[in-house]
A and B are shown apart, each in its own frame.
Chain A
């Protein structure tokens, strides 16, 4: 089945406490190459039939209106999975 992927990230200027906790754990484990971690979300929308431009536009709309909250998050990608 065709799949559309939507990726959502917390806004860059906001503190991401979950990412910060993981970054702290990595530092404690000695992985010193990684200075920061941010945690976002990936949604996989299974489509009933081929992905038309209309369906992709609909996915973009729900990504902005339901899957993310534009006050605290950004939609960083909407694409058909290959």
Chain B
């Protein structure tokens, strides 16, 4: 299985995402924002970072990149697409996911190992988790406050499309403690925390057993791998 990771001007976590993909047992394919070519990949990751310096709005300029025409087309045909942090911001700017992301309510950039509940384990990127499993992956952003109008929130909640919810603390003022959502089909998922930073013992969040041994992020990538092979 081949999973593409698109690099935009200002992407930071593209290499980490490629490494996570190879640790999960798939082949990572580096894709470039300026091309109109997905190189035949089976799934796509939009990585974290500060594309275009967050100018205009986070993810806004990147969402109009040449390759996004192909991403939007593929997503509508059911290809798994995961947007992480800045990638999530691109997905809402591209209207593949509803709502928007605004500056953290306390005004500070935040970096913490974040407890989440996986509330929907039937999406393309969460099938390897058990129902309502609690996981810890790093969170690091300045503009991660999820907002949507009441009607959209009701729809997301009613259809089980709140895929990840913050537990313990709401780090950024997100409505309904929403950390990540999916589209109606479940192939497009976006979240603010970073699964690609919790994929290898020694480099992940602390656990009760050992420092930096958390690898909860790896199953995002094994989930999509199993979905495509199935």
Which of A's residues lie within 8 Å of B, judged by CB?
10, 14-15, 17-18, 20-21, 66-67, 69, 71-72
**Cβ 8 A contact of B100, one of A15, A17, A69:** A69
When the two chains form the complex, which single residue of A15, A18, A69 contacts B93, counting CB atoms closer than 8 Å? A69
Quick one: given A69-B57, A69-B60, A71-B147, are A15 and B105 in contact (CB under 8 Å)?
Answer: yes
Does B104 sit within 8 A of A, measured CB to CB? Answer: yes
Which of B56, B99, B102, B107 is within 8 Å of A21, CB to CB?
B107
Interface residues of B (CB under 8 A from A): 56-57, 60, 64, 92-93, 98-100, 102-107, 147-149, 173
A18 near B103: Cβ-Cβ < 8 Å: yes
Cβ–Cβ contact A71 & B99, under 8 A: yes
Known: A72-B100, A72-B102. A14 touches B147 (CB 8 A): yes
When the two chains form their complex, are residues A71 and B56 in contact, meaning their CB atoms are under 8 A apart? no
- Can you add 4 more A-B contacts, CB < 8 Å, to A17-B105, A72-B147? A14-B147, A17-B106, A66-B60, A69-B57
16 CB-based A-B contacts, threshold 8 Å: A10-B102, A14-B102, A17-B103, A17-B104, A17-B105, A66-B60, A66-B64, A67-B56, A69-B57, A69-B100, A71-B100, A71-B148, A71-B149, A72-B57, A72-B102, A72-B147
